Structure 1
């Protein structure tokens, strides 16, 4: 199993895909942090240090610090794509056949991919979180209030990092389910940005949102009051459950289906 995991890392790091995804995640996080900090306390409802719903809390408030340090969770989609590519590249480049001939027990291959990408997502997430805090420290520090790196703020960062790792695992599972790389990525994007948004906006089914991956993610990482959501720990468990289900289904289908 160790050899299979190392083989997956070799496949990943001999391409430039991981560089683009990691750099993209860092740039997006930095941009969001600067944007939030620039408008903090100046939007309607946010001028009085936290303010009522409808505005961003002012720099220096506890609410602002938690909001800006949860920015890393906004790039889960790129970690999802990382996991999808990790699985579907075998089918896209037609290397699945030699891979499965080398290791006939396909379940071991899929498990190795899940382990490899879950492990590699950890340092990637740490890099994103470091950029998140570093840019926040500079941007908020320029306005006289560097976010404290302790207590609740550390928990917010940890939850964001956990979400990134889980979405990577979900991506591997989704890639095993769909196999077509473009189809899996497009399907994942449509679900995240269209389907969940529709569910959230239609009052008749809005209550179901909190049980979806997006609702679980928001419960785990959200710092502002929003719709009816699960408790933070419940959101974390639910999101982890989605990751395990995706991994299990992907493994079972990879074992049973023919390689095309």
Structure 2
């Protein structure tokens, strides 16, 4: 399996798309830190200050989706399985693992940039300063959300197989459907992977779930989608 993961990781780490997503995710993290910490006025609550470190996990979900679905669009999925000489499900698991690792790297760079920008800016705000433990907790939540979102994106991409369709549906659900659901039943929105990931990154703090429960919800979605994608991969033609 390690050889498969290394091969898939090489593909994900040497594409221009990966670097584009890296720049985009880091840029959003820095912009969010500046807007929340400096441009939103005085922040006097810990939860409000933690929002300055929040990332946008849906971008990592898009990264995994575009990359995994692109294997079928560019017809590289079948040759990869033939060369590997392994079960197609094992190859897909290796691919998902590679996106999890790249998600971790992108997340680590984003968190580091957000902390570097937000911490100095938050010192001028009223209320209690964030402790190192509180900053570390937010950073860990963001990393977990980024990795799990990349995993979910890759699993969804393997099932959808058409990058454009997957991206459009994902964006519509996240930015259009989810707010409508939240307006009717906030608890239902929090149980979606998007809502739970937002809680995990601290981008919202008026929620019906705790951070720990949100982490469990996102992880459960990731496991369910991986299982579904592997089952789908073994049933469908690769070409």
Would you call these one fold, judging by a TM-score over 0.5?
Answer: yes
Instruction: Say which is worse superposed, 169-178 or 192-201, in terms of deviation.
Output: 192-201
| Cα distance in 2, alignment partners of residues 209 and 107 from structure 1 | 31
- Pick one of 39, 52, 65 that aligns with 2:49: 65
| Cα distance in 2, alignment partners of residues 232 and 97 from structure 1 | 40
Q: Cα offset for 1:85?
A: 2.3
Q: Cα offset for 1:152?
A: 2.0
Q: Cα offset for 1:144?
A: 7.3
Counterpart of 1:21? 21
Question: What RMSD in Å do the two structures reach over aligned CA positions?
Answer: 2.2
Counterpart of 2:196? 216
> Deviations 1:53-77 (Å, cap 9, x if unpaired)?
xxxx24xx534432212x22xx212
Q: Which has the higher contact order (CA 8 A, sep 6+)?
A: 2
Q: Which runs of 5+ in 1 are unaligned?
A: 43-56
- Pick one of 71, 79, 83 that aligns with 1:98: 79
- Say which SS state the counterpart of residue 132 (structure 2) adopts: coil
Structure 1 length normalisation: TM-score? 0.83
| Cα distance in 1, alignment partners of residues 79 and 218 from structure 2 | 34
Counterpart of 1:174? 156
Q: Cα offset for 1:115?
A: 1.2
Structure 2 length normalisation: TM-score? 0.90
| Cα distance in 2, alignment partners of residues 5 and 139 from structure 1 | 40
Superposition pairs for residues 87-126 of structure 1, below 5 Å?
87-102=68-83, 103-126=85-108
Q: Hey, which of these two has a bigger chunk of helix by percent?
A: 2
Q: Which has the larger radius of gyration?
A: 1
Counterpart of 1:76? 57
Q: Cα offset for 1:207?
A: 3.8
Q: Does 1:235 align with 2:239?
A: no
| Cα distance in 2, alignment partners of residues 64 and 238 from structure 1 | 23
Q: Is the 8 A contact 2:57 2:197 kept in 1?
A: no
Q: Cα offset for 1:206?
A: 4.2
Number of aligned pairs? 237
